[in-house]
Structure 1
Amino acid sequence: MGTVRVVKATTKEDLEKVFAIRRTVFVDEQNCPPEIEYANEEESIHFLALSDQQPCAACRWRKTDLGYKLERFAVLKEFRGKGIGAALVSTVLADLPADAHYVYLNSQVNAVGLYAKFGFEAEGEEFEEAGIKHYKMVKHF
């Protein structure tokens, strides 16, 4: 694998790449309803991962009533298992405000191990979101 860079997606072009990756992974591959997938876009900070300049993954964070929620981690199939998800998590955590003391996410069951490496712990029962099994995970500081 070549060079991986994670950038904040602030231009219209970068945001279109972010949404295209998420559409491929969540809507096409995992059959997530588009109206669920594209909620809360305006108040979110978006990120785009590039492998040798090719868009390959995306995610976002946003402030909620509970704290800071990391969401929509999507890696295109041909780029999975190459550490790109970890690069996204690392970049997003570094981007959060200094006062971000409650950081959480809803992890698909198969990604729990990735988030655990960054200090997230599963809390509560497994639940279903858009037909996919998840655990709520909270980062402990």
Structure 2
Amino acid sequence: MPKPLEIKVSKVNNPQTLETVFAIRREVFVVEQHCPPELEWEHEEESHHFLATVDGEPAGACRWRKTEQGYKLERFAVLKQYRGQGVAHVMVTTALNDLPADADYIYLNAQIDAMPLYAKSGFEKTGPQFEEAGIQHFKMVKK
């Protein structure tokens, strides 16, 4: 029986690790999903970034930031070879646990394929379907 994967998600606070986060996002969003690079790199300074590792290897990235509406979870990206192994779920849980105690309105813009992941963490679809960076999304709010 293979040993279980060790999935860790850590808050990023140094430039070298932040570059790893950006490299994962570049691979998933810009290369794989063809998102325009100029849309990918915004709000970096005010965001709280996270790096997921699997058995010590970089595997995923995400962030949250405070907006005028509340707290927004964003940029969830898992490298192709680590998908389907629970990495994204650990990232969502870690990001939610990192939010301030007064975070009463938490939301995200979910790609349609990722909606079941967020629903498992208590997010519900709200509003109409929309396009962002050429990909169909729904806004989801934490209940």
Please tell me the TM-score bracket, short chain as reference. over 0.9
* Percent of residue pairs identical: 61
Secondary structure in structure 2 of the residue aligned to 1:40: coil
Correspondence 1:102 to 2:137: no
Give the counterpart letter for 1:60 in structure 2. Answer: R
Runs of 5+ unmatched residues, structure 1: none
Distance 2:35 2:43 in 1: 15
Correspondence 1:127 to 2:130: yes
Runs of 5+ unmatched residues, structure 2: none
Give the counterpart letter for 1:91 in structure 2. Answer: T
Aligned to 2:5: 2
Aligned to 1:90: 93
Q: Once superposed, what is the RMSD of the aligned Cα atoms? A: 0.6
TM-score by length of 2: 0.96
Paired residue for 2:19, among 11, 16, 20? Answer: 16
Distance 2:110 2:25 in 1: 15
Secondary structure in structure 1 of the residue aligned to 2:93: helix
Paired residue for 2:50, among 47, 52, 71? Answer: 47
Give the counterpart letter for 2:106 in structure 1. Answer: V
Secondary structure in structure 2 of the residue aligned to 1:82: coil
User: Structure 1 residue runs of 4+, over 6 Å off?
Assistant: none
TM-score by length of 1: 0.98
Secondary structure in structure 1 of the residue aligned to 2:27: helix
Displacement after TM superposition at 1:101 (Å): 0.3
Count of residues in Structure 1 that have an aligned counterpart in Structure 2: 140
Aligned to 2:80: 77
Distance 2:50 2:85 in 1: 18
Aligned to 1:26: 29
Give the counterpart letter for 1:132 in structure 2. Answer: I
Distance 1:52 1:9 in 2: 18
Distance 2:120 2:56 in 1: 27
Aligned to 1:112: 115
Paired residue for 1:58, among 61, 67, 71? Answer: 61
Secondary structure in structure 1 of the residue aligned to 2:138: strand
